[in-house]
């Protein structure tokens, strides 16, 4: 492939810089980068592939959580949940081996080869509760808040482990990261209030 002009390469790098170094192919092309410039930069190692169709400018520092960034670039409507949300909020000792996201029931799970993704389909009431939005390296990330995440861990304890849910509850309550009333509010939405209450009462 013929090398693009220095002007084209510089302009493309500037566009990536303005987007915190990470862009989807469609966004890059829509921002004025020529396809041949984009793919030449990829082939020459100036761009690194975070996921299919998501690239990072090699000269720019990686975002703090590149796997999360890549998934949220590809599925911007997703909400970071469970182990990934705990890790995002720095709660617990679990290191996620996959990016865990929540999507509405009835929607198809995205086909993402890398990074590993695990989808939890939730009802509308659960999806709309306790959602926060943060910026990670220029990428908008929707994530459940701490209290909602603790409730979710109990709801999905058979899939992630009761020990994980209990550890999160203990750390959040003892560290005053969320109040017992906040946790119970979301536990009722998740229909696990009766499950959470004994564990919560033991800590108070």
Residue 55 contacts residue 48 (beta carbons within 8 Å) = yes
Annotated domain spans of the chain: 6-57, 66-203
d(CA 184, CA 35): 51
Residue 61: what pLDDT?
Answer: 87
> Is the predicted pLDDT of residue 137 greater than 90, yes or no?
no
Question: Model pTM?
Answer: 0.82
d(CA 184, CA 158): 19
> Is the predicted pLDDT of residue 1 greater than 80, yes or no?
no
Alpha-carbon radius of gyration of the chain: 20
> Residues 18-71: pLDDT tens digits?
988 898 899 999 999 999 999 999 999 999 998 888 999 999 988 888 899 999
Kindly state the average pLDDT of the residues 136-156. 95
> Residues 119-134: pLDDT tens digits?
999 999 999 999 999 9
* DSSP count for the chain of H helices, then E strands: 11, 8
- Please, what is the average pLDDT of the chain? 93
> Is the predicted pLDDT of residue 107 greater than 80, yes or no?
yes
Main-chain phi, psi angles of 157, to 5 degrees: -60, -30
> Could you tell me the maximum CA-CA distance found in the chain, to the nearest angstrom?
68
- pLDDT band at 113; cut points 50, 70, 90: confident
Residue 151 contacts residue 196 (beta carbons within 8 Å) = yes
């Amino acid at each position: 492939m013929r090398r693009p002009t220095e002007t084209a390469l510089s302009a493309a790098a500037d566009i990536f810089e303005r987007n915190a170094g990470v862009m989807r192919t469609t966004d890059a092309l829509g921002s004025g980068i020529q396809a041949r410039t984009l793919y030449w930069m990829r082939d020459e190692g100036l761009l690194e592939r975070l996921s299919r169709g998501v690239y990072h400018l090699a000269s720019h520092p990686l975002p703090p959580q590149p796997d999360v960034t890549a998934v949220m670039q590809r599925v911007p409507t997703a909400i970071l949940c469970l182990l990934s949300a705990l890790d995002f909020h720095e709660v617990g000792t679990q290191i996620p081996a996959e990016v865990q996201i929540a999507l509405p029931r009835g929607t198809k799970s995205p086909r993402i080869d890398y990074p590993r993704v695990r989808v939890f389909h939730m009802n509308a009431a659960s999806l709309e509760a306790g959602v926060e939005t943060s910026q990670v390296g220029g990428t908008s990330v929707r994530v459940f808040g701490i209290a909602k995440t603790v409730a979710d861990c109990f709801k999905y304890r058979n899939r992630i482990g009761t020990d994980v849910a209990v550890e999160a509850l203990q750390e959040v309550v003892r560290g005053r990261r969320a109040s017992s009333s906040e946790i119970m509010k979301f536990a009722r939405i998740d229909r696990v209030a009766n499950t959470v209450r004994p564990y919560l009462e033991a800590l108070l």
